[in-house]
Structure 1
């Protein structure tokens, strides 16, 4: 196995281990497109581990060093990091905009010292780098039937929808890390503050004020999904089953939050494996027909 093949295999293994829903959706892509998606996932995972694993003694410095190694890899200089080797090949092969990686790392740096966001606009600046650019990264890999710039707003919206879903599902885990990714103005409109959220986490039960705030944010997120899903038809036909399946599975997390009456503080809401497969199998048929 060549170094490059081994690097892509490393990224694939990381995706399979840590991003089960996303990895399942990638199986609906043609084999030629999958390695690039795994490389992009691997890079995002690499940065996320620096920020959230708790194993780095100097996360800010480690992010700076990661960015320097990324620039070196993109410039064609040797790198011992398999993820960056695969990523640099993906960038060259698919013509990705290198500037988007700077946007992503800027949001990762925000996680080091920003613990809350006063309003949706401020949260949106974080989400731009942490999620919207991921949707835009993938456009050259998936291909489009319109000029790429026309497809970018919907691609960014899908990344935003996924991230907002994560914030709602993971509110308890984020509180444990000292962070609140729910916009402060929306919380305040329902009489919710960090202390009230922390009490819900401690008791494992959502109170009525928090429930109403979460319902509001669920509705906002559903609207973002509608915006994003309208753009799936702008993708190359062979990529649509993958993206539609990922959108369906992630949106179903919202459905399950609603079904649980927003009880997200005691346990993590998940889509069971059987349900994920039930959604993915029709997508696989559609993917095979589109090839």
Structure 2
């Protein structure tokens, strides 16, 4: 087995284990694109795990030091390998080969690592614009930019919707994972929104105030999905199926949150595997879900 073959295998396994929505969406792509989705996901997941799951061990990341030291070492390892065009580690070698072949702008990764470092020093965000522009720019929007060369868009106008999808995915994660993030000492819901509704996540209780605040967040999230959906027709058929399927899968999490009466404290709300498989199968056999199944769009002022 060659180094790149081993790296591709490990990136695919990592994506299947920890990023099932990305994995099943990517399975709708030709193998050459699928492998590149897995490498982008693997890089981001490995960095994120250093910050959020420091006890999770992977041979592809530095093992010694504090999370901040390990993240800095991983960043240096990545940019060194990117500059050289190779790495002795199979996972990093595969990541670098994919990025260089696709011509992804290295500046994307600068913003990404800066956002990961922020997680180690910031635990709250005052407003939605501050969260979006100060953190999610590098942790969410930039993921859309990284994926875009892999998806081979038909027009440069796909750039904006790709960034919106990155924002939409991460905001869904924030809403679903409020309880888990509290355990890490972090609150990603803007403090301004919490205060306006008199909602307090630290109570870990569903109150009328909590419900009103969550409804507002979900309206904002669905507006981002709607913006992202405008980019689907800017992608070739296989990429359109991949992204559209992932969009539908992820947006269904919002339905689960609503069905649970906005209780995001009792356990992680998930879209069952059988439902994900049904969505992917529908994309292959009859195309993307129709208008009736698109994420509902609300109105919210976004500045």
TM-score if structure 1 supplies the norm length?
A: 0.92
Q: Tell whether the 8 Å contact from 1:116 to 1:184 is kept in structure 2 after alignment.
A: yes
Secondary structure of residue in 2 paired with 1:238: helix
Q: Could you list the runs of 5+ residues in structure 1 that have no partner in the other structure?
A: none
- How many pairs does the alignment contain? 278
| Aligned CA distance change for structure 1 residues 69 and 54 (closer, same or farther; 3 Å) | closer
| Aligned CA distance change for structure 1 residues 275 and 185 (closer, same or farther; 3 Å) | same
Does 2:200 align with 1:185? no
Q: Tell whether the 8 Å contact from 1:241 to 1:286 is kept in structure 2 after alignment.
A: no
1:242-291: per-residue Cα shift (whole Å, max 9, x none)?
1000000001000111122211111211111221111110123368xxxx
Secondary structure of residue in 2 paired with 1:32: helix
Does 2:150 align with 1:141? yes
TM-score if structure 2 supplies the norm length?
A: 0.88
1:214-244: per-residue Cα shift (whole Å, max 9, x none)?
1100111011100001111111222100100
Distance 2:286 2:240 in 1: 9
| Aligned CA distance change for structure 1 residues 156 and 77 (closer, same or farther; 3 Å) | closer
Secondary structure of residue in 1 paired with 2:32: coil
Distance 1:208 1:80 in 2: 55
Give the equivalent residue in structure 2 for 1:58: 66
Give the equivalent residue in structure 2 for 1:225: 225
**What does residue range 115-194 of structure 1 map to in structure 2 within 5 Å?**
115-124=123-132, 125-146=134-155, 148=156, 150-192=157-199
Q: Tell whether the 8 Å contact from 2:15 to 2:38 is kept in structure 1 after alignment.
A: yes
Q: Tell whether the 8 Å contact from 2:86 to 2:96 is kept in structure 1 after alignment.
A: no
Give the equivalent residue in structure 2 for 1:96: 104
Q: Could you list the runs of 5+ residues in structure 2 that have no partner in the other structure?
A: 56-63, 288-303
Distance 2:245 2:85 in 1: 37
Secondary structure of residue in 2 paired with 1:113: coil
Give the equivalent residue in structure 1 for 2:292: none
Distance 1:182 1:53 in 2: 21
Q: Give the deviation of 1:80 after TM superposition.
A: 3.1
